Amino acid sequence: MNIVILAAGLGKRMRSPLPKVLHPVAGRPMLSHVLATAAELADAGDEVRTVIVVGHGAERVRAAYSDRPELQFVLQEPQLGTGHAVQQALPLLADSVPTLVLYGDVPLVRAATLRRLVAAAGPAVGVLTVRLPDPHGYGRVVRDWHGNVLRIVEQKDASEEERRIDEVNTGIVVAPTPKLREWLAQLSNDNAQAEYYLTDIVARAVADRVKVSAVIAEDAAETLGVNSKAQLAQLERMAQDRSAAALMEVGVQLADPARIDVRGTLTAGTDVSIDIGCVFEGAVHLADGARIGPYNVIRDCTIGAGTEVLGFCYLESATIGANARIGPFARTRPDVTLADEVHIGNFVEVKNSTLAAGSKANHLAYVGDATVGARVNIGAGTIVANYDGANKHRTVIEDDVHTGSNSVLVAPIQVGAGATVAAGSTVIERVPAGKLTVARARQTTLDTWTRPVKRK
């Protein structure tokens, strides 16, 4: 199959230098959603040839997909309508397969709907339509008394009677490629917009006695495009509603389906619960029985079975074991591995570190570039000082270590198994295993000291 995706529009009402099709919905550019749907249409062994028609911001769109060599781009300059846009793609299309036309700013169309359209069209023409309670602004689908499609008329060219039709054109069409070439060559711009409409091929097909099948989309959200930030926000919420419904379908308990944002891929086991206001970015997996408290941001993480993430945490690139307890107000920076039953408490930050089973940093600590053993207790205010102003250094804390409150471990350093670091210590040398190490100034009281008095 040939797939042509129209992505040349300026999007003036977006009021942004970013090309319209690169604006994100659910964490991905709108065009990426369309490309993912297009990829689903390929049956095993079938080749899908995808051509993207670019215009405004063409170089930025090309650059965004520079890692996709299978995609082909053509430039539409100037932009003279949808029919003119498809004309630019014709040299890259194979005549032996049909051509499906999609839109880079219509991100929610489902592969199942497109398959239904292609199947209904067969060797002829298929048009995806939708019924809207307020069809204003859309091209109307004109049928005869028997329900056969006659033509599509744009709003500005429609008569008063035609404007009362509630079945509208979505712009998505599939047609035999040789006939598509023929019909596009016959297009005229004699209309209110002075543009070459792709929809005019419907009337051409009818004139050539080629059957036109109109398939009505079951969900209007699939057919909605984006021309403004308000419409972008509307589609964002629709995408999130889809994600919430899919999660609940597999048994996830959502405190409020209207207050979750999935900006990537979220998979979950059984008996998972998610409180309000959570944002999931990238690829996140929640194992059986995981409990996510309110207002967490979780990016590219795997969270183990039975683990609880309390509210207001920011977790990034972390692998967290089973029955752990994280937060509230905790942060992990990239490359963190926390084993089973690890506790990371309020105002604790962990970066590029591993904590073995049963270790705890319950409050007010920083653990950076460290390998922490099992059953370690990191006291309040403990800092692993990993940066010397130019380079990062690693700290090794062996099993069963206890660091007292407000201690500083200056890397590179090793703390032996079972050692205790006294509160308030600044440790710069290796700490022996099983010993108490004190590294702080001796307390002194000066009886002769007098507090200074501010001069008047």
The CA dihedral of 352, 354, 359, 365, to the nearest 10 degrees, is -10
| CA–CA dist 165, 152 (Å, integer) | 11
In sequence order, what are the residues at sequence separation of 6 or more whose Cβ sits closer than 8 angstroms to the Cβ of residue 54? 7, 8, 61, 62, 73, 74, 75, 76
Q: In the structure, what pLDDT confidence band is assigned to residue 48 with cuts at 50, 70 and 90?
A: confident
Q: What is the mean pLDDT of residues 374-381?
A: 98
In sequence order, what are the residues at sequence separation of 6 or more whose Cβ sits closer than 8 angstroms to the Cβ of residue 200? 83, 151, 152, 183, 187, 188
Question: Looking at the annotation, which residues are catalytic?
Answer: 363
Q: What is the mean pLDDT of residues 356-360?
A: 98
Q: Where in the chain is the domain with CATH 3.90.550.10?
A: 2-223
Q: What pLDDT is recorded for position 11?
A: 86
Q: Could you tell me the pTM of the whole model?
A: 0.90
Q: What is the mean pLDDT of residues 415-437?
A: 97
Q: In the structure, what pLDDT confidence band is assigned to residue 336 with cuts at 50, 70 and 90?
A: very high
Q: What pLDDT is recorded for position 194?
A: 87
Q: What is the mean pLDDT of residues 26-54?
A: 89
Q: What pLDDT is recorded for position 192?
A: 80
**Tens digit of each residue's pLDDT (9 = 90 or more) over 230-245:** 999 999 999 999 999 9
Q: In the structure, what pLDDT confidence band is assigned to residue 45 with cuts at 50, 70 and 90?
A: low
| CA–CA dist 23, 60 (Å, integer) | 12
In sequence order, what are the residues at sequence separation of 6 or more whose Cβ sits closer than 8 angstroms to the Cβ of residue 426? 407, 408, 410, 439, 440
For the ranges 39-43, 240-244, 257-261, 342-346, the lowest mean pLDDT is seen at: 39-43
Q: What pLDDT is recorded for position 191?
A: 82
Of the options 3.20.10.10, 3.40.50.11690, 3.90.190.20, 2.160.10.10, the CATH number for the domain spanning 250-437: 2.160.10.10
Q: Where in the chain is the domain with CATH 2.160.10.10?
A: 250-437
pLDDT value at 43 more than 80? no
Q: If you average pLDDT over every residue of the chain, what do you get? A: 95
CATH no. for 2-223: 3.90.550.10
